[in-house]
Structure 1
Amino acid sequence: MILTDINTFSSKFEEKIKGNMIHLVSHFDTDGITSAAIMSTILKRLDAQFSLKILKSLSKEDIQDFPKDKILILLDLGSSHIEELSSLNNQVFVIDHHEIKDTTDTTKINIINPHLSKEYENLCSAELCYLIGRKISSENQDLSHLAIIGMVGDTMEKHINKTRDKIIKDANVKVKKGLLIYPSTRPLDKALEFSSKPYIPGVTGDPKGVYEMLREAGIEKIGKTFKALIDLTDQEMKNLVTSVMLRLSSDNKEKEYLGNLFLVKFFNKIEDAREVSAMINACSRMDHPGIALAFCLGSATAKKRAERIYVKYRQHIISGLKHINKNKKIKGREYIIINAQDKIKDTIIGTMASILSFSSIYKEGTIIIAMAYNDDKIKVSSRMAGRNPKSPRNLKELMESVAQTLGGESGGHKHAAGCMIKKEHENEFIKLVKKKLDVEIVKV
């Protein structure tokens, strides 16, 4: 079981870091940032001295640049680079949940990864960090809300396993069933206007469309503002669900867009965990991971800055969706390739792919490949459409295969993966992906 593995890992972790300098490395998404916030707090409470670096992705060059005289702790990354990490003379700890090759030799490093556990439990890196902290000291229970935010950030909220349920109870989180539009704690008109998961045709990005739908649902302003989603009556919620579903085209749409809302206490207010997660993610995607981390650690100044960044980020998202909608895409059987080039930030292209995968624009199982320039490289994000796609195709293997052919690097999961290639291989990449997907479709 994962908790047995956590206990073993935690004991060795606490023993090895005593009196040593530590270099903490974490991914820049919500799970990575919350993992970094949890782990940095744990280390401070242990009086450990450490440096911290947040990365968009982990490359071989990054590993070569790691300090040679410090213990390395990698959070939410590392599983795709076990061989390189094993060759270092450093003591290495990896806390990650990404898929790992069955043939990988992990004996030379210390790793906790649910995929290596005898009984797999779907946990994110922030949850793993929290469980380690909780094992080290009960004082760290106050970090449990960050684990929940990280979990929601990695869209794992549909599956509440035994271990996750314990974390939810530790965090005293209120779980409420409802329409998966966020923030559920803010005025409904604004939540709908900026809704990207789901993307609602004729409503997202269109204030007139929002008012028309709310009028149709019989939801009116109270004074000068609309109610928040969590404050709707049962009848108002039913009416709203009907109005939203009429605008979506997915077969199992009601099941897809109704689910758990996690309400956490953050800055002494009850907040929608998805909204907090989105703010953290926005800061990193807009090149401010330091603000995201400070926000998680409770800085009021960082909170104000994060709120401003989030407004700009949502504007970028709406603009990006409009660009994708208007511009030419490469369409194949059960796949689509979107080459945004320099029109969408490389830090946002993955979010675009995710939004489209949940949007019901494409049928379940459709592969979405989204590309954007990153200096002299191209960031590629791939997603499989649908909330629980049952396609036998594996995006991690697809990205790995193409990236290796072109000398790039890759990582991810079966239904969500990515890679980084040189810009000079742009056309070759598209040809290779089309060829591989066309062959796979024939096989399937």
Structure 2
Amino acid sequence: MGFCDDVKAAAEQIAQASDITIISHIDADGIACEAILSQAISRQEIRVKSVFVRQLEPLTMPQVPNDDSFKIFSDLGAGQQNLMMERGLSEKEVLIVDHHISQPCEREYTQVNCLPYGHTRMSAAGVSYLIAKQLDNSNIDLAKLAIVGNVGDMMAREKCGLVGPARDIIVEDGVRHQSVEVHKKDLNCYGTATRPIHLSLAYNDDPFVKGISNNQEGARQFLKKLGIRDKTSDGRWRVWEELDREEKRTIISALAEQLIAHGEKVDRLFAETYGFPDELPRTPMRNAQEYATLLNACGRWAKPAIGGAILRGDRGQAYRDAEHMLNNHRAIIRNLLQFIIDTGVKELENLQWLHVGGRYPDTIVGIGA
């Protein structure tokens, strides 16, 4: 059997169930998994409920209901199968949808995992989407969510764009559905929908452009020399996606010239990016990177269900709550990074460590590390 066979078998298992519980991870990928699977299952008129966990461990296993429901573990489970066995879960009531290394286990739980088949650049949201599409081809509207999950799990980072099935199937489905726009050879930077142009340039250090990266004023002067207005006629900061094609070309060419002048490569200056034209301009949902950050903020602050509601289309209270968490998330991270700079990192022979005490949530400290 191959990966496609595993996807087909999983869809058949789901279709035969009458009551399903999804147990999913709290990061952008896990939240996207839950939103994809729960919507696809609901459309089959199957009862479904969801539980989010930070990770599967002895302390969190009691959150997994010990009932008659069929249980789908998404973006986790492959490496924690012994915990499922200890919980008393049988092989017939479990499906694992994951992309992490699998743990040997006495019980052979059904698993759809892209990793053993060599698909190392696809996340669990991608696997979830393929199952949803197998359930019903009309679920291609969920491709957008899978792209957010994949990008949020850094699957586009190494190659400056998605590759493999994530690109060839999921992105293409999104384009065909007209909910996804692909921007080839776009500027490889973050915040193209919400950040002022000079901040997008200044905060980007991959690649590091001397005089611009980590230099807000330098970035503004760079734009000024190129004759690019950084504000609109009514005084608002312009964002990257509002620039016309010629302005973008001018900026990218000038950045490339600067990199070459300093003996640097230009390959990471470009990236394939994924935009969502049906979302409002100047919002984080406008592109995959910023959408994923919004979801991650929800997860980091223990509100993954709010991220799930946004993925289902809630642009009211859920979005307002998420936006508040995102702003708070960014402020806390800035504070944490300044704390690290001020306090310093202790270094041992094979270890670097920092003690933050109770100043920051444990879900945030890892970002600083």
Q: Which residue of 1 aligns with 2:98?
A: 96
Structure 2 CA distance for partners of 1:337 and 1:49, relative to 1, 3 Å: same
8 Å contact kept, 2:298–2:307: yes
Is 1:22–2:41 an aligned residue pair?
no
Quickly say closer, same or farther: Cα 1:51–1:318, change in 2 above 3 A: same
CA distance change for structure 1 residues 320 and 213 in 2, over 3 Å: closer, same or farther? farther
| More divergent stretch after superposition (129-138 vs 192-201) | 192-201
Query: Which residue pairs with 1:170 in the alignment?
Result: 173
Correspondence 1:310 to 2:320: no
Superposition deviation, residue 58 in structure 1: 1.6
For 1:177, give the aligned amino acid.
Answer: K
Structure number with higher strand proportion: 1
Q: Tell me the residue number matched to 1:80.
A: 79
In 1, Cα distance between equivalents of 2:209 and 2:357: 25
> Is 1:298 the equivalent of 2:313?
yes
Residues 237 and 334 (structure 1 numbering): CA distance in 2 closer, same or farther, change over 3 Å? farther
**1:273-352 residue pairs with structure 2 within 5 A?**
273-301=288-316, 302-331=318-347, 336-352=352-368
Cα distance, 1:346 vs structure 2: 1.5
Query: Which of 255, 259, 279 is the equivalent residue of 2:267?
Result: 255
Cα contact 1:130–1:143 (8 A) shared by 2: yes
One-letter amino acid of the counterpart of residue 331, structure 2? Q
The residue number in structure 2 matching 1:427 is none
Amino acid at match of 1:233: K
Structure-2 separation of matches of 1:175 and 1:96: 28
1:161 aligned to 2:164?
yes
* Structure 1 position 321, deviation (Å): 1.8
Q: Please, which moves more after superposition, 191-200 or 277-286? A: 191-200
Residue 279 (structure 2) aligned to one of 267, 270, 290: 267
Cα distance per residue 1:255-303 (max 9 Å; x no partner): 3453222112453668221011111111221332222111111001122
Paired amino acid for 2:96? V
1:233 aligns with 2:248: yes
The share of aligned pairs that are identical, in percent, is: 24
Report 1 or 2 for greater relative contact order, CA contacts < 8 Å, sequence distance ≥ 6.
Answer: 2
In structure 1, what is the equivalent of residue 109 of structure 2? 109
> Which AA in structure 2 matches 1:41?
Q
Report the 3-state secondary structure (helix = DSSP H, G, I; strand = E; otherwise coil) of the residue aligned with 1:95. Answer: strand
Distance 2:361 2:213 in 1: 20
Secondary structure in 2 matching 1:61: coil
Q: State whether residues 214 and 240 of structure 1, in contact with CA within 8 Å, keep that contact through their aligned partners in structure 2.
A: no
RMSD: 3.1
Q: Which residue of 2 aligns with 1:191?
A: 200
8 A contact 1:218–1:236 mirrored in 2: no
Contact 2:310 2:319 survives alignment (8 Å): yes
Deviation string, structure 1 residues 29-60 (Cα, Å, up to 9, x no partner): 00001111111101211222222111122212
Q: Report if aligned partners of 2:275, 2:288 keep a CA contact under 8 Å in 1.
A: yes
Alignment CA distance shift 1:311-1:213 (3 Å)? farther
**Alpha-carbon distance, 1:345 to partner:** 2.5
Normalised by the length of structure 1, the TM-score is 0.69
CA contact (8 A) 2:126 2:166 kept: no
The amino acid across from 2:188 in the alignment is L
SS at match of 1:324: helix
Q: Distance in 2 between matches of 1:96 and 1:339?
A: 33
Figure out how many residues of one structure are paired with residues of the other and give that number: 343
1:335 CA displacement: 6.1
Q: What residue identity is the alignment partner of 1:291?
A: I
Alpha-carbon spacing, 1:303–1:65, altered in 2? closer, same or farther (3 Å): closer
Q: State how far apart, in whole Å, the 1-side matches of 2:9 and 2:43 are.
A: 20
SS of the aligned residue for 2:362 comes to coil
* Deviation at residue 322 of structure 1 after TM alignment: 1.8
Matched with 1:59 is 57
**Contact 1:179–1:241 under 8 Å retained in 2:** no
Distance 2:278 2:364 in 1: 25
Deviation at 1:194, TM superposition (A): 5.9
* Ranges in structure 1 where 5+ consecutive residues have no aligned partner: 353-369, 371-444
CA apart distance, 1:192 = 4.4
Structure 2 residue 188 is the aligned partner of structure 1 residue 180: yes
Q: What does residue range 396-411 of structure 1 map to in structure 2 within 5 Å? A: none
Aligned to 2:132: 133
- Distance in structure 1 (CA, Å) of the matches to 2:132 and 2:144: 13
Instruction: Write the distance in 1 (CA, Å) between the matches of 2:170 and 2:135.
Output: 15
Partner SS state of residue 347, structure 1: helix
Deviation at 1:179, TM superposition (A): 2.8
